[in-house]
Amino acid sequence: MNGLLLTFIVALVLAMFFIVFRMSNLVSILRSKNKKNEEVDISTNNFHAYLFLLLPLAGTIWAFWYASRHMTLWGQPEASVHGAEYDWLSKIAHVIIILMFLVTNTGLFYFAYKYRYKRNNKATFYPDNTKLEVVWTIIPAIILAILVFTGWNLWRKVTKDAPENAIQIEVVGKQFNWIARYPGKDGKFGGYNFRYTDDINELGLDFTDKNVNDDFQATELVLVKGKPIQLKIRARDVIHSVSLPHFRQKMDAVPGQPTTMWFIPTKTTQEMREELKTNPEYLKPDPSTTKGDPADIKARWETFDYEIVCQEICGRGHFSMRMRVVVLDEKEYEAWVAKQEPFVVKNKEYVLEAVKRQMKMKQNAGQAFVENVKNTD
């Protein structure tokens, strides 16, 4: 019934529009019959010229006002060594492009306004000017060169090999969550093979490798403040992407092609929360806490957390593929590590079964290899 009514109303409105259109059409035909020559309708033409001046101006003012109010933290607060440099470079680059944007758009709209049609006016025949062309080829080239070199500098810093003392953590993406693995006391990761994967051994750990013995897994990524962190990234099924917006880092997780990234966190989660207390944006309540009991309402700084955001489309649950990231200071971190139980200790019975299967698989593969070699004779 409602649908029918809605359709009827829409049809009515459309019919009204159509009648107005037809009437204005007929009127304009009558009017144009009185005019002898088809010439430019000056008042309409001016109207467009004025709008070209006014609307962009209004829009620009709004954009600047909005940015000055809400973009104080460049979107997300930064918390890594190169993050501060990133923000600085990003701001410089944005200042430059905003200037380019303003200068060129101003030229465009001002000319669109100023040189609107005027009766008895004639346009200037001005087909080319090599000097001008050269000037505005060279100027953008110089500006771009500066941006390229500053960007290149930072890029090399971010992508160079991780320092030797970096804490290594493996991050594995799967539909639809992340798993972290720490190398344990020996500082070495045990091997893995995707064929060993099952519901318990989610990372496909190779239990015949003794380095696996002290590896432990976590559902949160726990990092140390002030120490280089190297993430060894892989994916189990489809491409995911480890995005760490607060650390200004991102790297795809590709099945079959492990990737890596590193950075140095500069603020613990706790320190960051304290810092955000001073920002009016973060004093506002967190919308996810406002639905229940008013007593549970928390400010955004209280619920702040570092996070891994999956940034490459990976299927149905892509939008919820989040991992909490916790940054601790060194003492807290060591205490946390001490509490962790290696995977093989946690799942003793399972591992004893699995290792038999894995050995069998290896044996089969070995036999197949021997046979292959024999057949090549």
Partner 1 sequence: MATAVAHAHDVHTHDEHHEHHHETFLTKYVFSTDHKMIAKQFLVTGILWAFVGGLLSILFRLKLGFPEMDYTWLKPILGKWVTGDPGQGQLDPEFYLALVTMHGTIMVFFVLTAGLSGTFSNFLIPLQIGARDMASGFLNMLSYWFFFASSVVMAASFFLDGGPAAGGWVVYPPLSALPQALKGSGAGMTYWLISMTLFIVSSLLGGINYITTVINLRTKGMTFSRLPLTVWAFFITAIIGLLSFPVLFSAALLLMFDRMLGTSFYLSDIYVAGQALDHTGGSAILYQHLFWFLGHPEVYIVLLPALGITSEIIATNARKPIFGYKAMIGSMLGIAVLSFIVWAHHMFVTGMDPFLGSIFMFLTLIIAVPSAVKAFNYITTLWRGNIRYTPAMLFSVGLVSLFISGGVTGIILGNNALDIYLHDTYYVVAHFHLVMGSASFFGMMAGIYHWFPKMFGRMMDEKLGYIHFWLTFVGVYLVFFPMHFIGIAGFPRRYYEFSAYAAFRDEVYLNLNQFISVAAVITFGAQLIFGFNFFYSMWRGRKATQNPWNSNTLEWTAPLEPGHGNWPGQIPFVYRWAYDYSKPNAEKDGFTDFIPQNVPYSMTPHSNLPHENEMIALEKEEMLPHDTTLELAKLAKKKELTA
Query: Which of 265, 300, 343, 354: binder of partner 1 (CB under 8 A)?
Result: 300
- Please name the residue that has the structure tokens 């809400």: 70
Binding segment (CB under 8 A) for partner 1, from list 68-76, 163-171, 215-223, 369-377: 68-76
Cα gap 16→5, rounded to integer Å: 16
Min dist CB 3 to partner 1, Å, is: 8
Query: Which of 101, 345, 356, 357: binder of partner 1 (CB under 8 A)?
Result: 101
Cα gap 85→248, rounded to integer Å: 10
Query: Which of 168, 217, 230, 243: binder of partner 1 (CB under 8 A)?
Result: 243
# of chain residues touching partner 1 (CB under 8 A) = 125
Amino acid at 196: Y
Query: Which of 13, 54, 313, 352: binder of partner 1 (CB under 8 A)?
Result: 313
Min dist CB 288 to partner 1, Å, is: 6
Nearby residues of 324 by Cβ (< 8 Å), 6 or more positions away: 220, 221, 305, 306, 307
Residues of span 156-215 touching partner 1 by CB under 8 A: 156, 158-160, 174-175, 194-195, 197-199, 204
Residues of span 14-53 touching partner 1 by CB under 8 A: 21, 24-25, 28-29, 37-38, 40, 44-45, 48-49, 51-52
273 binds partner 1 (CB under 8 A): no
Closest CB to partner 1 among residues 74, 350: 74
Min dist CB 190 to partner 1, Å, is: 17
Cα gap 91→97, rounded to integer Å: 10
Residues of span 136-155 touching partner 1 by CB under 8 A: 136-137, 140-141, 144, 147-148, 151-155
**Residue 267 in contact with residue 249, Cβ under 8 Å?**
no
Strand order in the sheet with 167-174: 216-218, 177-182, 167-174, 229-235, 259-263
Amino acid at 231: L
326 binds partner 1 (CB under 8 A): no
Query: Which of 8, 64, 65, 319: binder of partner 1 (CB under 8 A)?
Result: 319
Report how far Cα 282 is from the mean position of its chain's Cα atoms: 21
Report how far Cα 23 is from the mean position of its chain's Cα atoms: 52
Q: Which of 313, 175, 190, 309 is nearest to 236 (CA)?
A: 175
> How far is CA 212 from each of CA 245, 261, 344, rounded to the nearest angstrom?
31, 22, 8
Min dist CB 147 to partner 1, Å, is: 6
- Please name the residue that has the structure tokens 């000055």: 68
Closest CB to partner 1 among residues 225, 240: 240
Query: Which of 177, 208, 213, 259: binder of partner 1 (CB under 8 A)?
Result: 259
**Residue 229 in contact with residue 183, Cβ under 8 Å?**
no
Min dist CB 72 to partner 1, Å, is: 11
Asked if the peptide bond before residue 176 counts as cis, ω within 30 degrees of 0, the response is yes
Query: Which of 188, 255, 332, 350: binder of partner 1 (CB under 8 A)?
Result: 255
Beta bridge partners of 173: 178, 235
Min dist CB 73 to partner 1, Å, is: 9
Task: Give the pairing type, strands 167-174 and 229-235.
Answer: parallel
Min dist CB 346 to partner 1, Å, is: 21
Task: Give helix 130-159 / helix 81-114 axis angle, nearest 10°.
Answer: 160
269 binds partner 1 (CB under 8 A): no
Nearby residues of 118 by Cβ (< 8 Å), 6 or more positions away: 42
Query: Which of 76, 177, 211, 340: binder of partner 1 (CB under 8 A)?
Result: 76
Binding segment (CB under 8 A) for partner 1, from list 105-113, 182-190, 223-231, 336-344: 105-113
Residues of span 329-368 touching partner 1 by CB under 8 A: none
